[in-house]
């Protein structure tokens, strides 16, 4: 199971900053005839900053750029680390 959350604030006309986080955990048992690992179900969580910028704002289309970093913690039967994501999203008008 995976749960993600976030809260942010607009700090400029085209920029939002915030805090994001997630939690993930295994719900079912690990099975299989060749499984020889730790049978404990895994879980871990992450939290970190996010910045979102409205890079293009035109009448015909928009582009958002988002950067977020997760610092992972509270791991059980799983490795931890740091994850960074850069994403681009586009909003195009509906065709007539």
Domain boundaries, the chain: 2-28+41-91
Q: Across the beta sheet with 2-10, what order do the strands follow?
A: 2-10, 15-25, 43-57, 62-76, 82-91
CA angle 89, 94, 96 (to 5 degrees): 160
pLDDT computed for residue 95 by the predictor: 60
What pLDDT shows up at residue 7?
A: 97
Phi-psi map region of 51: left, alpha, beta (phi>0 left; psi -120 to 50 alpha): beta
* CA–CA gap between residue 70 and residue 55 (Å, rounded): 23
Decide if 6 contacts 50 (C-beta within 8 A): yes
> In tens digits, what is the pLDDT along the chain, a chain of 96 residues?
999 999 999 999 999 999 999 999 999 887 777 777 777 888 999 999 999 999 998 888 999 999 999 999 999 888 889 999 999 999 987 665
pLDDT of residue 32: 72
């Amino acid at each position: 199971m995976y749960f993600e959350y976030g809260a942010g604030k607009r700090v400029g006309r085209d920029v939002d900053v915030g805090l994001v986080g997630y939690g993930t955990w295994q719900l079912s048992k690990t099975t299989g005839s060749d499984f020889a690992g730790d049978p404990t179900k895994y879980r871990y969580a992450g939290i970190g900053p996010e910045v979102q910028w409205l890079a293009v704002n035109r009448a015909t289309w928009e582009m958002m750029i988002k950067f977020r970093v997760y610092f992972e913690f509270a791991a059980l039967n799983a490795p931890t680390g740091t994850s960074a994501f850069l994403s681009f999203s586009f909003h195009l008008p509906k065709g007539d």
